[in-house]
Amino acid sequence: MKKNNGWNPYAAGALAGIVSVLSVLIVGKFLGASTSFVRSAGLIEKFFSPQRTVLIEYYIKYTPKIDWQFMFVIGILAGSFIAAIISGSFKLKTVPDMWKARFGPGVARRAIIAFVGGVIAIFGARLAGGCPSGHGLSGLMQLSLSGFIAVISFFVAGVVVARLLYRGGVKK
């Protein structure tokens, strides 16, 4: 165990792998997250304009509703909160340390980039057919070819963007 009290990444990873397998074995559900953003967006839209939302084809394919995966995603929030409180690592932060060292403590700047990043990321994940959970964990566990292609694409673009953002910046 490291000084920050974090779990060893290999042990934690293996544990997450076992949880993923058990989920498939017990309830037949492969882990994933990005579909829930579609269903949630649909739920919000349905609240404001029910007639129009039912006509959107993508919301017919992914019906706006609270399902297994939605609860899984909410559970992640709760599980992380519990772990953070128990270990005393809960800390309110508006800007990540690495970001602050490069771009300063401005909250608005971070919020705008995070928002834009979120828009692009989910658009890409839905287009690709999954995110690092659905394609990364669940896809690669099943040795699915689409998983390998998507994950490699995630990293290639991610490395390029991180490189551009932090070029000439502080190393830590």
Partner 1 sequence: MNLLTYGLITGIIFGFIIQKARIVRYDKQIGALRLLDMTIIKFMFSAIFAGMIGIYLFYDLGFIGLEVKPTLLGVNIIGGLLFGIGWGLLGYCPATQLGALGEGRLDAFWGILGMLFGASIFARVYPALQETLYTWADFGKLTLPQFLGLNHWIVILLLIIFGSLLLGWFEEKGI
| Site residues (CB under 8 A) for partner 1, limited to 89-128 | 89-99, 110-128
DSSP 167: T
CB 133 within 8 A of CB 31: yes
81 binds partner 1 (CB under 8 A): yes
Within 139-158, the residues that bind partner 1 by CB under 8 A are 139-158
Measured from the CB atom, the residue of 80 and 104 that comes closer to partner 1 is 80
55 binds partner 1 (CB under 8 A): no
Of 30, 32, 34, 31, residue with least CA distance to 118: 34
Measured from the CB atom, the residue of 51 and 143 that comes closer to partner 1 is 143
- Residue 107 contacts by C-beta under 8 Å, 6 or more apart in sequence? 94, 95
Within 5-34, the residues that bind partner 1 by CB under 8 A are 6-7, 9-21, 23-31, 33-34
66 φ/ψ angles, rounded to the nearest 5 degrees: -90, 115
Selected from 47, 50, 56, 106, the binder of partner 1 by CB under 8 A is 56
42 binds partner 1 (CB under 8 A): yes
Structure tokens at 31: 């882990």
